[in-house]
Structure 1
């Protein structure tokens, strides 16, 4: 009796089941949604940040990851020297610069 129920269910499932590729369709749809909602915007944001860091020049006002705001005095390939107060200069890694705010006004 037990084997007859299993054989009946197996025969019913094999005869009218959907194609195998339809089972993978939700996973493919989730991958596409993840690409457009998460991965693609993040890649765009990283590209913009990299362009900002490449455009840093002497005189720009920047904000570091630690929250220090200062004026760029000297720029190197990987470092930037930032003046955070009168005659107080710190050397920061360019990748830790979060925001480039532009040129500071002349009346500092």
Structure 2
């Protein structure tokens, strides 16, 4: 008796079944949309700005690296750059290690 009444309930609710599935998916979709606008989109924007900054590096730019080194770019190629961190001391770095281009004259 119990099983037959359970089948009867599921068949009578077939019209509302599709609507209940959509309403149960709505919070998941809204969470993904919020996640996109709060986390994913700003991160993509920061990556794009960093890529443009790294591509625009030129000789003479004063830079700060991810490791905390401050120096002046003395030479560069497609993947690497040479940064002078002290008089006569040059360090080879990957371009991606540069986190910030400093204003001219900030290094003494």
- Band of TM-score, shorter chain: 0.7 to 0.9
**Residues matched between the structures, number:** 107
Cα distance, 1:65 vs. partner?
Answer: 1.1
Distance 1:42 1:7 in 2: 50
Name the structure 2 match of 1:78.
Answer: 79
Deviation at 1:94, TM superposition (A): 0.4
Within 2, Cα distance between the matches of 1:58 and 1:76? Answer: 11
The Cα of 1:39 is off from its aligned counterpart by 0.4
* 2:6 is aligned with 1:6: yes
Q: Which position in structure 1 is the counterpart of 2:104?
A: 103
Matches within 5 A, 1:52-91: 52-91=53-92
- The CA deviation string for residues 25-72 of structure 1, in whole angstroms up to 9 with x for no partner, is 111111110110000000000001111111111111111111111111
Structure 1 unaligned segments of length 5 or more: list them.
none
Aligned counterpart, 2:22: 21
Give the match's secondary structure for 1:103.
coil
Distance in 1, matches of 2:23 and 2:3, equals 29
TM-score (normalised: structure 1): 0.82
TM-score (normalised: structure 2): 0.82
Distance (Å, rounded) in 2 between the aligned partners of 1:52 and 1:99: 8
